[in-house]
């Protein structure tokens, strides 16, 4: 089987692309396709050409791995597409699976498109910080209209073949054998002339308002990003310029977007997300358990949110509380959440009832005896957790996974009270657990491979992005955020306003800065932890400016007042009393106040994450730098187009990060220093090699 197979079906030539797993347009594919077109052109007996994907899909796009190759070495998709468009014999794209990006662009350059009913098609380039660069911005609006094309190109989300048929993007839907029907279709249209070329169509009657609205929209959905603006400009050109002009401009803007740090960041995340699913030492055939039922201990905010993930995936849940009132309250919150979703039209009331019917409330822990997985989501206290796991050890059936949703505690210690530590794992959900996509999967010393593999598979099933982390205080996400929080407080001590710190992070693209985030999480949480830790360590009672704010009853958004004031709209507004409190604090402690630039604030905050991340990596708590980036994007709102904190540091250059840390009087982590000295990067760092 060659990378592009040529098969003659009488007077039709079928070109089958075989480039698993997703038939990306990799080196070798254009050569094979050109050879196929040469054969069709040179043989009078061939009247039409069908292009089809071998395996599970049509072409899923350009090969993202080749984006950084020099232009002359990268597969020439545009060259192939130009030839296809001008080809003198009819060409038919036969689509199954997904036709994405360059894949859909190939299909759009064919004269006809047929597709299986379950196929999907889209232009997801925006998710990689680029734009459809092989005619997509010019052809799609000419077929489906500007409005729909903008919607598809700006969201990057694919549409179903059935919708594509209604839009005229697909000429025929296929129920039976795709290849056979595509050949029959090609034969039927073999003599049709002139050939229907999308590039020859015109777009008329589009109100300028459409583009103005789109530009306004991306200000909210893609703040600070380059390629969405380019996409709108190019779509507008379809209404004002001939195809050839838009086609050339598209090439120029594609290159500009592709060579931007934003695209490098997003591509890094694309691969990091896929890598995160792979666990060194675990093979594909590691046995997994089918999770058919779940038990959750605790019907509070966390327990309820976790339960919803399972209910959404159709997995029955038994939820346990210690008192009837708390149980009723927990259930009512879950129901209210679902009903609110239904009000927004995203669920029917029938769905709501179906999900609620999968939920069994109980006050009796023994009712968890049949559950395949039990997740404890109670108060963060080692004594309480140990007590629960001791009981669970007696109740749970053999083989059940016993998981803790702790965000900081030692999972090894929790596992040690059971007679089956190999069945114990940490599943750290992020609040609100029914919304946030991140799941830190905490591998304890004795967690079995099978429990780990089952947990990873379960994460996917319930729509989470699972990342494996090791045991330490705060695991990856919270351990880093503590350092960031400390740095933010220090910045204020030195003279910054809380709103300066937040504004710097907002400018970077984080929806919330450190203080907006603390207010949302509740200031009392950190306050109680600080007070508790000081007590345990025999240290004086903490008395930072933030502690003083909490002691005035300002606990954050939930009390309408924290570092900021909050009205009905929940927007943070600076408060004069807080500003005065900070000023008094500085004066009392003899802290000299100075002006801090946005650059300094940004560097100190982001590099505090990076420095702790490097240490975490060195200790083996995270397997790879990309895992840390995935955690920060899905758990903390770090903008993907910045590549996550570690990807951002790579982009800045580790030497520069080290120099900045030193300038601010901080000690770079040994791994960070070493990589900077070697001219290395986090992305290029490989634990196995570094230990060899
Ligand atoms: N290039 C290179 N590798 C790709 C790829 C691509 N376009 N698409 C997927 N892969 C790789 C993945 O990295 C993964 O590799 P791995 O097994 O080594 O980790 C493997 O293919 C399978 O991918 P998934 O794990 O994502 O498989 P799924 O079945 O879950 O999803 C998919 C399949 C829907 C095709 C998904 O992979 C996807 O969305 N791919 C990206 C599609 C895309 O963005 N296309 C546009 C590319 S840009 C472009 O075309 C520019 C043009 O306009 C000029």
The pLDDT tens digits for 126-185 are 999 999 999 999 999 999 999 999 999 999 999 999 999 999 999 999 999 999 999 999
Closest ligand 1 atom, residue 270 Cα:
13
pLDDT (average), residues 440-448 = 97
Q: Is the pLDDT of residue 672 over 70?
A: yes
Closest ligand 1 atom, residue 100 Cα:
45
Beta strand pairing call for 12-17 and 4-9: antiparallel
DSSP track, 130-169: ---TTTHHHHHHHHH-HHHHHHHHHH---EEHHHHHHHTS
For ligand 1, atom 19, which residue shows the shortest CA distance? 274
43-55 pLDDT, tens digit each: 999 999 999 999 9
Q: What is the mean pLDDT of the chain?
A: 96
Residues in contact with ligand 1 by the CB-under-6-Å rule are 21-22, 24, 60-65, 77, 98, 100-102, 105, 124-125, 128, 132-134, 136, 271, 274
Find the 64 Cα to ligand 1 centroid distance in Å: 8
- Whether the Cβ atoms of residue 320 and residue 364 lie closer than 8 Å to each other: yes
For ligand 1, atom 36, which residue shows the shortest CA distance? 60
Closest ligand 1 atom, residue 105 Cα:
53
223-239 pLDDT, tens digit each: 889 999 999 999 999 99
Domain boundaries, the chain: 4-259, 294-469, 496-589
pLDDT (average), residues 500-528 = 93
Nearest Cα residue to 442 out of 416, 465, 476: 476
Instruction: Determine the pLDDT at residue 692.
Output: 66
Structure ipTM over 0.90, yes or no? yes
Burial of 285 (0-12, 13-18, 19+ CB in 10 A): exposed
pLDDT (average), residues 111-118 = 98
pLDDT (average), residues 341-350 = 95
CATH for 496-589 is 1.10.1040.50
Right CATH for 294-469 from 1.10.490.10, 3.40.50.720, 3.40.50.800, 3.90.226.10: 3.40.50.720
- By annotation, the residues acting in catalysis are 105, 125
Closest ligand 1 atom, residue 102 Cα:
50
Residue 478: which pLDDT band, with cuts at 50, 70 and 90?
very high
Find the 647 Cα to ligand 1 centroid distance in Å: 20
Sign of CA dihedral 101, 107, 113, 118: negative
Measure the CA–CA gap between 18 and 262, rounded to whole angstroms: 31
| Cβ contacts of 108 within 8 Å, gap of 6 or more | 135, 136, 139, 140, 143, 198
Residue 281: which pLDDT band, with cuts at 50, 70 and 90?
confident
Find the 60 Cα to ligand 1 centroid distance in Å: 6
Give the residue, out of 58, 60, 109, 456, with the most ligand 1 atoms within 8 A of its beta carbon, to mutate for a pocket test: 60
Alpha helices, DSSP H, located in 537-597? 545-551, 576-589
Q: Is the pLDDT of residue 72 over 90?
A: no
Backbone angles phi, psi at 596, to 5 degrees: -110, 135
16-63 pLDDT, tens digit each: 999 999 999 999 999 999 999 999 999 999 999 999 999 999 999 999
Instruction: Determine the pLDDT at residue 315.
Output: 98
374-400 pLDDT, tens digit each: 999 998 889 999 999 999 999 999 999
Whether this model's pTM surpasses 0.90:
yes
pLDDT (average), residues 411-425 = 98
Give the residue, out of 23, 27, 61, 158, with the most ligand 1 atoms within 8 A of its beta carbon, to mutate for a pocket test: 61
pLDDT over 90 for what percent of the chain?
Answer: 92
Find the 390 Cα to ligand 1 centroid distance in Å: 45
Instruction: Determine the pLDDT at residue 670.
Output: 97
Sign of CA dihedral 24, 25, 31, 32: positive
Find the 24 Cα to ligand 1 centroid distance in Å: 7
Give the residue, out of 19, 22, 120, 149, with the most ligand 1 atoms within 8 A of its beta carbon, to mutate for a pocket test: 22
Fold of 4-259: 2-enoyl-CoA Hydratase; Chain A, domain 1 (3.90.226)
Q: Is the pLDDT of residue 82 over 90?
A: yes
Find the 22 Cα to ligand 1 centroid distance in Å: 6
Sign of CA dihedral 184, 17, 274, 444: positive
Instruction: Note whether 294-469 and 496-589 share their fold.
Output: no
pLDDT (average), residues 91-108 = 98
Find the 271 Cα to ligand 1 centroid distance in Å: 9
Residue 560: which pLDDT band, with cuts at 50, 70 and 90?
very high
Closest ligand 1 atom, residue 271 Cα:
13
């Amino acid at each position: 089987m060659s990378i592009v197979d040529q098969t003659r079906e009488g007077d039709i030539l079928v070109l089958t692309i075989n480039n698993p797993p997703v038939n990306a347009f990799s080196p070798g594919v254009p050569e094979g396709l050109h050879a196929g077109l040469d054969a069709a052109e040179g043989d009078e007996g061939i009247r039409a050409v069908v292009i089809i994907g071998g395996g599970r899909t049509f072409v899923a796009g350009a090969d993202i791995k080749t984006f950084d190759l020099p232009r002359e070495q990268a597969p020439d998709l545009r060259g192939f597409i130009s030839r296809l468009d001008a080809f003198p014999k009819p060409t038919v794209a036969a689509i199954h699976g997904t036709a994405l990006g360059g894949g859909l662009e190939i299909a759009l350059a064919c004269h006809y498109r047929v597709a299986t009913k379950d196929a999907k098609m889209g232009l997801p380039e925006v998710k990689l910080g680029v734009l459809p660069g092989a005619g997509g911005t010019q052809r799609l609006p000419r077929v489906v209209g500007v409005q729909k094309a903008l919607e598809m190109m700006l969201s990057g989300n694919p549409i179903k073949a059935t919708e594509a048929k209604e839009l005229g993007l697909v000429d025929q839907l296929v129920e039976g054998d795709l290849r056979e029907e595509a050949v029959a279709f090609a034969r039927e249209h073999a003599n049709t002339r002139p050939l229907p070329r999308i590039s020859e169509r015109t777009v008329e009657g589009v109100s300028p308002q459409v583009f103005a609205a789109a530009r306004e929209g991306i200000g909210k959905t893609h703040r600070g990003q380059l390629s969405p603006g380019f996409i709108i400009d190019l779509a507008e050109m379809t209404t004002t310029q001939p195809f050839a002009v838009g086609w050339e401009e598209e090439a120029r803007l594609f290159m500009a977007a592709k060579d931007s740090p934003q695209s490098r960041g997003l591509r890094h995340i694309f691969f990091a997300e896929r890598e995160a699913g792979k666990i060194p030492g675990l093979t594909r055939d590691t046995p997994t358990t089918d999770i058919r039922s779940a038990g959750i201990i605790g019907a509070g905010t966390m327990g309820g949110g976790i339960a919803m993930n399972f209910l959404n995936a159709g997995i029955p849940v038994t939820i346990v509380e210690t008192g009837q009132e708390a149980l009723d309250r927990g259930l009512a919150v879950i129901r209210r959440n679902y009903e609110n979703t239904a009000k927004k039209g995203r669920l029917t009331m029938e769905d709501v009832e179906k999900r609620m019917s999968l939920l069994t409330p109980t006050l009796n822990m023994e009712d968890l005896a049949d559950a395949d997985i039990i997740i404890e989501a109670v108060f963060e206290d080692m004594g309480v957790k140990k007590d629960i796991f001791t009981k669970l050890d007696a109740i749970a059936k053999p083989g059940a996974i016993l998981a803790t949703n702790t965000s900081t505690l030692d999972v090894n210690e929790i596992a040690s009270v059971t007679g089956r530590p190999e069945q114990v794992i940490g599943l750290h959900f992020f609040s609100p657990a029914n919304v946030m996509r991140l799941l830190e999967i905490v591998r304890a010393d004795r967690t079995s491979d099978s429990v780990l593999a089952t947990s990873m598979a379960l994460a996917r099933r319930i729509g989470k992005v699972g990342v494996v982390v090791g045991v330490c205080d705060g695991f990856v996400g919270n351990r880093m955020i503590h350092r960031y929080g400390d740095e933010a407080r220090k910045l204020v001590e030195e003279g910054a306003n809380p709103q300066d710190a937040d504004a710097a992070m907002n400018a970077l693209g984080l929806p919330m800065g450190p203080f907006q985030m603390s207010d949302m999480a509740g200031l009392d949480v950190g306050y109680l932890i600080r007070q508790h830790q000081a007590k345990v360590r025999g240290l004086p009672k903490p008395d930072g400016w933030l502690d003083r704010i909490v002691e005035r009853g300002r606990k954050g958004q939930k009390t309408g007042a924290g570092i900021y004031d909050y009205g009905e709209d929940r927007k943070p507004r600076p408060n004069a009393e807080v500003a005065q409190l900070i000023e008094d604090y500085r004066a009392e402690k003899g802290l000299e106040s100075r002006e801090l630039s946005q650059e300094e604030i940004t560097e100190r905050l982001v590099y505090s994450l990076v420095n702790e991340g490097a240490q975490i990596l060195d200790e083996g708590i995270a397997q790879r730098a990309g895992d840390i980036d995935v955690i920060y994007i899905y758990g903390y709102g770090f903008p993907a187009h910045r590549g996550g904190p570690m990807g951002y540091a790579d982009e800045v250059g580790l030497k520069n990060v080290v120099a900045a840390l030193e300038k601010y009087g901080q000690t770079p982590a040994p791994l960070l220093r070493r990589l900077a000295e070697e001219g290395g990067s986090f992305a290029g760092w490989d634990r196995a090699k570094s230990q060899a």
